[in-house]
Structure 1
Amino acid sequence: MADLWLMSAPWWHFALRGVVIYVLVTTLMRVSGKRAMGQFTPFDMILLILIGNAVQNGMNGGDNSLTGATIMAGTLIVMNLVVAWGSARSRRFRWVVEGRPTLLAENGRIDHRTLRRQLVSEEDFLNAMRSNGCNEVRRIRRATLEPNGQIMIETID
């Protein structure tokens, strides 16, 4: 029973591994694009599960103790709180971590090149238009892809 709590490395190894993996996965998710974060498909969910499995050994270093798991979980929670705190207090920090909104359409004109670059299908864009109460492209004043993956549309009334 005592083996459940016996760690194979010093406590700070687990904290350091947690920080490194958190930053790595956050960076990878940030690079993957806004649409991946905002609109989960079954493939996105599979990807998240596989990423979790892929980084597991990097985080625990082969340690299966409850103490190590507790330290890593605590580290991940603290990292998440630090990111939330920094995002709430600094626009620049939030832009680095989350990204900035991307202009998809303006003054009744859709930027199809930006749609492709942001991995937004025209069908998804048209669905977002309807969801925002806009039935005609010419009524769009401004449409942006927000860092959380939502498409926001301001219309000309």
Structure 2
Amino acid sequence: MSGLFELELPWWELVLRGAAVYVAMLVLVRLSGKRTVGEFTPFDLVLVVLLGESVGGALIGEDMSLPGGLIVAAVLIGLNWLVGFLSARLPLLDRIVEGQPVLVARDGEVFRDVLRRESISMAEFEAGMRAAGCPGVDEIQVAVLEPNGHISVIRRGSR
């Protein structure tokens, strides 16, 4: 029973591993674009599960102990809280972590090159239009891809 509570790695290595993997995953997810953090498709869900599995070993290394897992979990939760806390107070960090809205259509014109750059298909854009109750592209005053991956549509004459 004592093996369950004994660390196989020094505690500080678990903290460093957790911090390094958290930062690396945050950067990778941020670089992958807004679509990753919006609504999940089945492909996105598979990716998230596989990402979790792929970094599991990097987080805990050889340490399969209960305290080792709890240390890494505490580091991840603490870092997540810290990033949220600092993002709420530092606009530059918020823009880096969360991103900024992107204009994808204006006055009935869809910017297909922007959609392509953001990895948004026309079908996804049209679904965003329908969700906003916009029957057609010609009804769009402004459409914005939000940092969370959702598409906000303002219809003409809706002020």
- For the aligned pair, the TM-score class normalised by the smaller chain equals over 0.9
Q: Does 1:110 align with 2:110?
A: yes
Which whole-Å CA distance do the structure 2 matches of 1:116 and 1:32 have between them? Answer: 13
Q: Which TM-score applies when normalising by structure 1?
A: 0.95
Matches within 5 A, 1:3-82: 3-82=3-82
Matched pairs, number: 157
Shift of 1:138: 2.2
Which whole-Å CA distance do the structure 1 matches of 2:52 and 2:129 have between them? Answer: 34
Shift of 1:136: 2.5
- Residue deviations 1:8-51 (CA, integer Å, cap 9, x gap): 12111111110000001111111111012102011111111111
Shift of 1:131: 1.1
Which ranges in structure 2 are unaligned for 5 or more consecutive residues?
none
Q: Does 1:97 align with 2:97?
A: yes
Q: Which TM-score applies when normalising by structure 2?
A: 0.94
Does the aligned pair in 1 maintain the 2:11–2:68 contact within 8 Å?
A: yes
Does the aligned pair in 1 maintain the 2:9–2:62 contact within 8 Å?
A: no
The worse-fitting range, judged by mean Cα deviation, of 129-138 and 142-151 is 129-138
Could you tell me which residue of structure 2 aligns to residue 133 of structure 1? 133
The one-letter code of the counterpart of 2:83 is V
- In angstroms, what is the RMSD of aligned CA positions? 1.0
Shift of 1:52: 1.0
Which ranges in structure 1 are unaligned for 5 or more consecutive residues?
none
The worse-fitting range, judged by mean Cα deviation, of 20-29 and 127-136 is 127-136
Structure 1: which 4+ aligned runs deviate by more than 6 Å? Answer: none
Which whole-Å CA distance do the structure 1 matches of 2:53 and 2:125 have between them? Answer: 33
